């Protein structure tokens, strides 16, 4: 079977619940994006879609890694050590934009889209989860989230 050049992967991270998160607080620790890359190859992260069922209309900073290492305690500022950050093998960061001009507002929530990212990603060669990378999220505003209040769909191009 031929491998597709483009594919998407959808993940639902477990967000901080209860009290609101503040700007620069850890919103969710790394969640696996399975199959982001083919075995022994790289992909381009081309696009990201964020469905916010809590209707927070806030941007979220996304941190991509080859290895899962927590950024810190949910609801607190990032406190990952330099050593653990290097062990996580960072791939890059992007900011999912807040809802703008009503586009993507479906009344009970909103959909935000980021295109033309072109971030090269590759899974860790020692990872038994073939082709997986990880994403963590950091809040950019004071908001309250449900545990499954954010859903992300990432679009990849196989290199």
Give residue 1's pLDDT.
Answer: 43
pLDDT by 10s per residue, the chain, length 159: 456 799 999 999 999 998 899 999 999 999 999 999 987 789 999 999 999 999 999 999 999 999 999 999 999 999 999 999 999 999 999 999 987 666 677 878 899 999 999 999 999 877 666 789 999 999 999 999 999 999 999 999 998
Coil/strand/helix, residue 79: coil
Name the burial class of residue 123, with classes exposed (0-12), middle (13-18) and buried (19+) by CB atoms within 10 angstroms of its CB: buried
Give residue 2's pLDDT.
Answer: 54
Of 156, 97, 119, 129, give the one whose Cα is nearest residue 30.
129
pTM over 0.75: yes
Domains of the chain by range and CATH? 6-158 (2.60.120)
**Beta-sheet strands, E only, within 4-72:** 6-11, 26-33, 42-52, 60-65
Give residue 101's pLDDT.
Answer: 65
The tokens of 32 are what?
Answer: 């696996």
């Amino acid at each position: 079977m031929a491998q597709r050049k483009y594919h998407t992967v959808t993940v639902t991270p477990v967000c901080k619940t209860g009290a609101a998160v503040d700007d620069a607080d850890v919103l969710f620790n790394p969640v696996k994006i399975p199959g982001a890359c083919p075995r022994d190859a790289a992909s381009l992260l081309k696009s990201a879609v964020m469905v916010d069922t809590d209707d927070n209309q806030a941007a979220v900073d996304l941190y991509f890694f080859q290895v899962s290492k927590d950024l810190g305690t949910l609801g607190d500022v990032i406190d990952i050590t330099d050593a653990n950050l290097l062990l996580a093998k960072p791939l890059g960061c992007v900011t999912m934009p807040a809802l703008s001009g009503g586009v993507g507002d479906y009344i009970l929530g909103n959909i935000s889209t980021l295109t033309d990212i072109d971030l090269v990603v590759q899974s860790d060669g020692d990872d038994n989860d073939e082709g997986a990378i990880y994403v963590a999220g950091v809040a950019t505003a004071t908001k309250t989230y449900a545990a499954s209040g954010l859903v992300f769909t990432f679009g990849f191009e196989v290199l």
